[in-house]
Amino acid sequence: MGSFSDPTFTLQVSFLAFSPDPSFLTRLTVKPEAVPQSQAPPVGLRLPLPSSLPFQPSTWDPALGCSDGSPVYIVHGVQEDLRVDGRGCEDYRCVEVETDVVSNTSGSARVKLGHTDILVGVKAEMGTPKLEKPNEGYLEFFVDCSASATPEFEGRGGDDLGTEIANTLYRIFNNKSSIDLKSLCISPREHCWVLYVDVLLLECGGNLFDAISVAVKAALFNTRIPRVRVLEDEEGSKDIELSDDPYDCIQLSVENVPCIVTLCKIGYRHVVDATLQEEACSLASLLVSVTGKGVVTCIRKVGKGSLDPESIFEMLETGKRVGKVLHASLQSILHKEESLGPKRQKVGFLG
């Protein structure tokens, strides 16, 4: 459960859950079109002097760099809808999506978002349905924060972040509104498919949650589960028979699988796809899980700062607009990749 705190009120927001072919491999680019920015503050409005800026100076690392070596440059630029790298407040960086990068998995994907590099592998294994959901399969998430991605991941820092990300992914993806979990059931109360989703953070360049959610959705789209038959003999005992045809598989429907849009509050405005420098200038962010139809399935507030109700509602509307465009671009790329066929030249994980 996340909370939005202010000296005069506290708003509690709970996590809400609503209602391969191995030769498919390429590197493609997702470029969501720019979407209108919400109402901006009056022209000429500036933030207070640096001593009262909404960030912790002690946490600012000059090595992160910006034009004048100060976060003031970043904050003032955001107020004018002009970020350090030339993007608007609601613009994403180019996203590189590459699927089928790990041969010994049921599905995999690698996503590069700026300097953030994510690898996701999905392994389908037989298991026993949970007692409370005897006719459904389920997903399990594990996140490994490589110490080479950033020094902050060394020791307990990486473990804590990995657990936090895994818990968030579980709340967002492991429900029947996102994936048809009943299609993963083989025999009620006895056998089901369990999808083990392993996430590896290779490099951290900001906006981890968004990049991970895109990689998870691409990997699930790439996942192929062997078709099975349940055979029952005269005595009533059941046997599981897997198809001998490697192409006789079940493909998951990811139409309703959401993506995360993280909105960082910087000054009086908010930005999507924040870089490390921009994240250092923000004390509060809102994670919005959005489907392709613009339905918000989960929200979570992160950071030590507070968000007022008006800002929350504006950020939710921005998240829905940006999320719909992101989904449309990603789905188009994934289906285009699938249509290229098995003879597509592979790029490879080390390419």
Q: Provide φ and ψ at 270, rounded to 5°.
A: -130, 155
**Residue type for position 84:** V
Q: What is the dihedral of CA 300, 116, 197, 337, to 10 degrees?
A: 110
Is the pLDDT confidence value at 84 over 60?
yes
Token digits for 126? 């037989």
Higher pLDDT, 130 or 346: 130
CA distance 105 to 107: 5
pLDDT of residue 345: 66
CA distance 97 to 118: 10
pTM confidence score = 0.78
Is the pLDDT confidence value at 29 over 60?
no
pLDDT of residue 160: 82
85-114 mean pLDDT: 92
Question: Residue 344 — very low, low, confident or very high, per pLDDT cuts 50/70/90?
Answer: low
CA distance 126 to 104: 16
CA distance 6 to 9: 5
pLDDT of residue 158: 73
DSSP 306-345: ---HHHHHHHHHHHHHHHHHHHHHHHHHHHHHHHT-TTPP
153-169 mean pLDDT: 81
Of 237, 233, 238, 286, nearest in space to 263 by CA:
286
Could you tell me which residues come within 8 angstroms of residue 272 by beta carbon, excluding any fewer than 6 positions away? 89, 90, 91, 92, 210, 261, 262, 263, 264, 318, 319, 322
Strands 138-145 and 191-203: parallel
Tell me the pLDDT tens digit for each residue of 222-270: 999 998 888 877 676 777 888 777 788 889 999 999 999 999 999 999 9
Of 224, 204, 16, nearest in space to 105 by CA:
224
**Residue type for position 94:** C
120-130 mean pLDDT: 94
Alpha helices in 66-187, H assignment, sequence order: 71-79, 156-173
pLDDT of residue 151: 67
Q: Which of 118-132, 304-318, 336-350 is the least confident region? A: 336-350
Higher pLDDT, 156 or 337: 337
Could you tell me which residues come within 8 angstroms of residue 177 by beta carbon, excluding any fewer than 6 positions away? 17, 18, 19, 256, 297
pLDDT of residue 20: 37
Tell me the pLDDT tens digit for each residue of 293-319: 999 999 999 999 999 999 999 999 999
**Residue type for position 98:** E
Domains of the chain, earliest start first = 2-19+24-35+61-339 (3.30.230.70)
pLDDT of residue 119: 95
Q: Are 238 and 181 in contact (CB under 8 A)?
A: no
3-state secondary structure of 133: strand
CA distance 78 to 84: 8
H/E run at residue 139 = strand 138-145
Q: Tell me how many degrees the CA angle 91-93-98 measures, rounded to the nearest 5.
A: 135
Question: Residue 81 — very low, low, confident or very high, per pLDDT cuts 50/70/90?
Answer: very high
